[in-house]
Amino acid sequence: MSEEPKVPIPELGGAVVETGGETLYQCMQCGLCTASCPWRLVEGDISRDFNTRKVQHMAMLGVEGYETEDILFACTTCGVCVERCPRECNPIDNMRVLRAMIGESGSVPQAYRPVIGSLNSNGNPWQGEAKDRTAWTKDMDVPSFGEDTEYLLFVCCTSCYDSRSKKIARAVASLLNKAGVSWGIIGEEEQCCGEAVRKVGSEETFMTLAEHNIKIFGEKGVKKIITTSPHCLYSFRNEYPELGGEFEVLHYTQLMDKLIEEGKLKPTKDFAKKVIFHDPCYLGRHNEVYEAPRNVIDSLPKAERVEMDRFGPDSICCGGGGGRIWMETPPGARFGDLRVSDAVAKKADVLATACPYCTIMIDASNMAMGKEEMEVLDIAEMLDQVT
């Protein structure tokens, strides 16, 4: 039986443009976005079905058929398509708006429903209670943010609740103490930055979270923020200002690089290992922070740093962005496997990164592939070991 013809909805493209997808009609259908997408590097149903160019075209024509999890919700928002588009289109914004339209109709993918529910009830996506947001600080000297505190340390929800990721938060806090930085946390009063849930398409939830945080930060007198996650960095830098939240925001690697240069952090113990660095999409392409993490690695005594074949602006996504960290990706289609394979090919002892999502996704691939002889570590963990 032949497939029924699709009936265009002419208003769809205009609605996308009016609600945040301003670049939709700049697309000339060259296909460079599709060719550059990391889904082309793996096999499976999602790789076969997800086509960035086609989604843009369907939206422009007002044709339905892109709404499934394996198509519209496959995008990890890695930013390669945005980086390379010759017409300066932003497929991420366009797909975010399409996802929001789907969300408004109640057709959110099943995997996201408990995430959004937890964000609305607990202020985090991990179903953890608000009172446990500071559980990562157990047996540590972690100051509260006060009126005379210089930096707010904003710990990503993942590093507040995920057992593996808590080690990252603890390492950053330890380093701040060692360097004598004036810093503190707000704790259970703060909520998720909202970056990922906005990419998922839940605009209302994002606005609620952002407005809450901006209000709390204002009441506390926050001027400078250190983030443990590049995703929080992106949201605070690029999304909060339009809502009135103006702050000086740094990823922790930027501050650590500065503290090492100033002699306030002094790595003294040997780290005699070959280290390969994975550029997180939201640290590199989205926030253009490339040198600071490498400078920190280079400061580790006797560490040998090597590069992936695809690094910097050409780095491959870990697969966790755009809400994919909460969705199941079948074996053989995981971007983290590509990162592990690249690192193993370079005979690295440590695959280093600087993002909680990347650590989780790549560590999972590392274990699934039986490559545990190579460690997956966050840069903060490495620096704390030798300082």
Are residues 18 and 126 both part of a single domain?
A: no
The verdict on 127 and 247 lying in the same domain is: yes
Q: Domains in the chain: how many in total? A: 3
In terms of domains, do 222 and 152 share one? yes
- Of 55, 74, 104, which closes a domain? 104
Q: Are residues 33 and 171 in the same domain?
A: no
Kindly report, residue by residue over 105-150, the tens digit of the pLDDT: 778 899 999 999 999 999 999 999 999 999 999 999 999 999 999 9
Q: What is the pLDDT of residue 1?
A: 45
Q: What is the pLDDT of residue 197?
A: 97
218-250 burial: b if 16+ Cβ within 10 Å, else e? eebebeebbbbbbbbbbbbbebbeeeebebebb
Distances (CA, A) of 135 to 73, 140, 142, 149, 216: 32, 10, 11, 22, 20
Residue 104 has pLDDT above 60, yes or no: yes
Q: Give per-residue pLDDT as tens, 251-287.
A: 999 999 999 999 999 999 999 999 999 999 999 999 9
Q: Which of 238, 27, 222, 57 is nearest to 144 (CA)?
A: 222
Same domain, 250 and 274: no
Residue with tokens 């991990």: 126
Q: Say yes or no: 99 and 134 in one domain.
A: no
In a domain, 179, yes or no: yes
Residue 1 lies in a domain: no
Which residues are paired to 144 by β-bridges? 185
pLDDT of residue 23: 94
Co-location of 120 and 98 in the same domain: no
Of 231, 257, 283, the residue that ends a domain is: 257
Judgement on whether residues 35 and 75 belong to the same structural domain of the protein: yes
- CB under 8 Å to 286, separation ≥6 — which residues? 79, 230, 234, 238
250 and 273 together in one domain: no
Does residue 363 share a domain with residue 298?
Answer: yes
Q: Is 347 within the bounds of a domain?
A: yes
Q: Average pLDDT over the chain, rounded to whole?
A: 95
- CATH number of the CATH domain containing 15: 1.10.1060.10
Looking at the fold, whether 316 and 344 belong to one and the same domain comes out as: yes
End of a domain among 257, 289, 304? 257
What is the β-pairing status of strands 183-184 and 274-277?
Answer: unpaired
For the chain, percent of residues with pLDDT exceeding 70: 98
Give me the domain span that covers residue 47. Answer: 11-104
Q: For residue 162, what pLDDT is reported?
A: 97
Assigned domain for 380 exists: yes
pLDDT at 365 (0 to 100): 97
Question: Residue 55: inside a domain, yes or no?
Answer: yes
N- to C-terminal Cα separation, the chain: 68
Q: What is the pTM of this model?
A: 0.95
99 and 155 assigned to the same domain: no
**Residue 381's CATH number:** 3.40.50
Residue 5 pLDDT greater than 70, yes or no: no
Quickly list DSSP for 41-72.
GS-SHHHHH--HHHHHHHHHHT-----STTTT
33 and 81 Cβ atoms separated by less than 8 Å: yes
